[in-house]
Amino acid sequence: MKGLVIQMLQFFVDFMPEWPKWRLWWLVRHKHLVGVFIAVIKDGQILLVKKKAGVVTGNSLPGGGLDYGNTVGEQVARELEEETGLIAETFRLIEVSKNVAHRDLHLLFLVEDFGGDPNLKDNLEIGEAFFVPIEDVGKYLKGDFLNMAQKAIKFYKALKNLSMLA
């Protein structure tokens, strides 16, 4: 009986479109996840991505789960480059938060210095990377992503005010 159930599940998965496979994988395998999220802010604009596949779809900050064997710094640099084509020159950890319901730990980083331009090549997960004015971020993001973006913007503005005093 167990073998028949596994065969049926395999048949079902083989014919599913890509995005439900991501969600199914997450439901079955998700135990504990450290997620890195990256707020790239420059000249009063914040970088967003439109995710077309994965656990979360729609507009969000660039980021993803910490891969086994990677340092947090390696993961931040890798996620930013994979999802946007940008190369982070420096970044700052600005928040550590937890999502108790999903047993997740979220790390939020601010990137102000980067190289390159948003550029996507054959990306199955990301449909678009684009900058929006920081005052318009609420038109593009909702929920946790909006909350994280607003925290990053507040931190960014505080840094700018401090640098003006120096």
Kindly give, in sequence order, each residue whose CB lies less than 8 Å from that of residue 52, ignoring residues fewer than 6 positions away: 19, 124, 125, 126, 127
135 in active site: no
CA max distance for the chain:
72
Catalytic pick among 74, 81, 128, 135 = 128
| Catalytic machinery residues | 128
